[in-house]
Amino acid sequence: MTERALKNTWVEIGGVVLQKDERAPNLPDDTKQVPLEMRVKGFLLHDAEKGGEAEIVTLSGRMVRGTLTGINPEYAHMFGRPIPELSPIAGEIRAILRERRKTS
Amino acid sequence: MSTDSYKAIMDQKAEIMRSSVGIDYDKYTTGPLSFDYEAMLNDTGYDLDAIRDIQGRSAVGNTPLVELKNLTELVRAVSEPGKGARLFVKDEAANPSGSFKDRRASLSAFEAKKKGYKGIAAATSGNYGAAVASQAAKAGLGCIIVQEAFDSQGIAQPEIAEKTRACEAYGAEVVRLSVGPELFYYFLIVLKETGYFNASLYTPYSILGIETLGYELALQVKAREGRFPDVVMATHAGGGNVTGTARGLIKAGAADTLMVAASVDLAGLHMASDRDFNRKSFTTGHTGFSVPFSTWPDRADVPRNAARSLRYMDRFVTVTQGEVFYMTEALAAIEGMERGPAGNTSLAAAFAIAREMDREQIIVVQETEYTGAGKHPLGQLNLAKQMGIDVRRGDPRENQPGKAIVIPEHPSQIKPVEMNLDRIRRSYLRNALDSLPEGENVTETDIAFLVAESKSDDTYVREAIESHERKKR
């Protein structure tokens, strides 16, 4: 079932700003193969379905139209798991200082 | 979605820039190559006292200077007897949005408000966006930040994702784009549509705002130690940090203090590559910005870049991503200061440079930045592993940008690599001479300008001009 968002919901919309063949000259080969895409968030101006057309008002008051890509989208960045290559460093450095303080 | 074609918008660049920055850059031209840099800065009408006052009113600046006594002891543990300078850091994370970038944003916000703009906009993926959003919030201005934020697989760089969140927390609209230099095109569309002030990183306002950093730190060291620091280290990207800090030091009277720039080595990674985008664990303070901007500052989004680092650098070094992550761990473990990794680029370099210096000498790292989810060694290294980058302990010399991040096994392995300033100066002069309009000749005013630009002398510049002409023939 498609997800539906009501008017005034905080959402993300997106779309293609420049198609592959509209992009700037002198791009690296890999970047040339893909379009320039955009995402922006705001409050929905009308009920809409995910994947469908939507218009929002952004935090600066702009009206922007695009495809509904997220409903109350998550901030997904995080710390994640500890990194085994970093975990021992604190202990190693403290040991160097302890050793130095013992001998001086 | 806009239907303005790429070329149509780019053709309006000069006009959009003029109305969004409010500076007539043409009037500073003094020769085919030269322009009056000091006049361009002076004409803003803000002197150091005025800027300190403006920043003071928006809670920017006057950050603590912290002596890193344990880290100094660690330096001395790996130095020859009599060596190991005292390390200090200016804790710029104490600014309202958590970095020195508030200094750059404060004056732009003040100027925008004074001139009656309804809002300010900036094209930036880093701390500067949060700073502009924070200052706009305080000034009651609208704010739009345009970021290069994700690759074609939709994977966001964790540090930039954190900046998106921070900007939205300050009430700014954030436009996130996929990888590519056309970010500038979209930024122009935004400026044209909204009539907002362009809080470019490279206007005089942005650079003058950093002068207070160098000025404060010089006076703080002087008040505490009775003299100015021997070395100030700055993380180097677009050149503003080095330029503003050095100018502030000079204004405080610390003209003999050496200004050393440090960047993370990302050689071999292409800045406009969709594939390389998430193979970088640093989004700023790296050679992908610092080398092109040192050798040609006017590649910026304004006609005359006010950040001209080559005028002020006494030395330029690079460190590896692994070395910076190691120092970030060290700062937390023995100084009790958990700070964002990118701001520790100059700290990693300073740690090694302090080893060459005498015990009585003083080296100041001029910034820290806040840390948080994404903007942290854990978030960055988890992504690096996901992208197939080899993360391991070992000799940092084995580091390979985009392929291997080698975390040192011992602090004695941290060794910055010297950038050849002579080569950078020659490259700058080549770029400048290549920009000479057809049919024009280099004037005496141009030569004096190029001497100042390259921090060299008359003979050096004249030789470069001769060699350039020989090659043309």
Residue B161 CB neighbour total at 10 angstroms: 23
A17 and B1 Cβ atoms separated by less than 8 Å: yes
B141 and B118 Cβ atoms separated by less than 8 Å: yes
Start-end of H helices in B238-357: 240-252, 287-295, 321-335, 345-356
DSSP B28: G
Cα A17 to Cα B455: distance, rounded to the nearest angstrom: 42
Task: Name the closest residue on chain A to residue B119, using Cα atoms.
Answer: A60
Q: Which of A61, A86, A99 sits opposite B377 (nearest CB)?
A: A86
Q: Which of A19, A29, A79, A87 to mutate to test the interface with B (most CBs of B within 10 A)?
A: A79
Q: Note whether ipTM > 0.95 here.
A: yes
Helix (H, G, I), strand (E, B) or coil at B25: helix
Cα B319 to Cα B323: distance, rounded to the nearest angstrom: 6
How confident is the prediction along chain B (473 residues), in pLDDT tens digits per residue? 445 789 999 999 989 999 999 999 999 999 999 999 999 999 999 999 999 999 999 999 999 999 999 999 999 999 999 999 999 999 999 999 999 999 999 999 999 999 999 999 999 999 999 999 999 999 999 999 999 999 999 999 999 999 999 999 999 999 999 999 999 999 999 999 999 999 999 999 999 999 999 999 999 999 999 999 999 999 999 999 999 999 999 999 999 999 999 999 999 999 999 999 999 999 989 999 999 999 999 998 899 999 999 999 999 999 999 999 999 999 999 999 999 998 899 999 999 999 999 999 999 999 999 999 999 999 999 999 999 999 999 999 999 999 999 999 999 999 999 999 999 999 999 999 999 999 999 999 999 999 999 999 999 999 999 999 998 87
**How far does the CA of residue B168 sit from the closest CA of chain A (Å)?**
8
B236 and B304 Cβ atoms separated by less than 8 Å: no
In the block, tokens 């854990």 appear at B378
**Residue B162 touches partner A, C-beta closer than 8 Å:** yes
B96 and B102 Cβ atoms separated by less than 8 Å: yes
B283 and B237 Cβ atoms separated by less than 8 Å: no
Do the Cβ atoms of B173 and A42 come within 8 Å?
yes
Residue-range domains of chain A with CATH:
4-75 (2.30.30)
Burial grade of B15 (CB within 10 A; 0-12, 13-18, 19 or more): exposed
Strand blocks (E) in B308-416: 315-319, 362-365, 390-394, 404-408
Cα B371 to Cα B447: distance, rounded to the nearest angstrom: 45
Burial grade of B420 (CB within 10 A; 0-12, 13-18, 19 or more): exposed
pLDDT at B4: 72
Tokens of A58: 């952004």
Cα B306 to Cα B21: distance, rounded to the nearest angstrom: 13
In chain A, DSSP finds a helix count (H) and a strand count (E) of: 2, 6
Cα B16 to Cα B11: distance, rounded to the nearest angstrom: 10
Residues in chain B: 473
Residue B250 CB neighbour total at 10 angstroms: 18
Q: Which of A24, A28, A75 sits opposite B182 (nearest CB)?
A: A24
Cα B58 to Cα B109: distance, rounded to the nearest angstrom: 10
Farthest-apart Cα atoms in chain B, separation: 67
Q: What is the pairing mode between strands A10-18 and A63-71?
A: antiparallel
Cα B381 to Cα B236: distance, rounded to the nearest angstrom: 22
Q: What is the dihedral of CA B373, B377, B381, B384, to 10 degrees?
A: 80
Tokens of B139: 């000034």
B64 and B89 Cβ atoms separated by less than 8 Å: no
B309 and A68 Cβ atoms separated by less than 8 Å: no
Do the Cβ atoms of B186 and A17 come within 8 Å?
yes
DSSP B320: -
**Residue B338 touches partner A, C-beta closer than 8 Å:** no
pLDDT at B206: 97
Do the Cβ atoms of B149 and A79 come within 8 Å?
no
pLDDT at B3: 55
Using alpha carbons only, how large is chain A's radius of gyration in Å?
24
Residues 6 or more apart whose Cβ sits within 8 Å of residue B176: A38, A39, A40, B147, B149, B150, B156, B164
Cα A81 to Cα B379: distance, rounded to the nearest angstrom: 8
Residue B454 CB neighbour total at 10 angstroms: 22
Residues B210-242: b if buried by 16+ CB within 10 A, e if exposed: bbbbbbbbbbbbeeeeeebbbbbbbbbbbbbbb
Residues in chain A: 104
Using alpha carbons only, how large is chain B's radius of gyration in Å?
21
Residue B413 CB neighbour total at 10 angstroms: 18
Do the Cβ atoms of A40 and B175 come within 8 Å?
yes
Q: Which of B162, B164, B274 sits opposite A34 (nearest CB)?
A: B274
Integer angstrom CA distances of residue B423 from B66, B75, B263, B299, B312? 35, 31, 16, 19, 16
Do the Cβ atoms of B162 and A79 come within 8 Å?
no
pLDDT at B441: 95
Cα B451 to Cα B462: distance, rounded to the nearest angstrom: 9
DSSP B233: E
CA pseudo-torsion sign B439, B440, B441, B447: negative
Please list every residue in chain B whose beta carbon sits closer than 8 Å to the beta carbon of residue A97.
70, 73-74, 77, 334
Task: Name the closest residue on chain A to residue B193, using Cα atoms.
Answer: A62
**Residue B272 touches partner A, C-beta closer than 8 Å:** yes
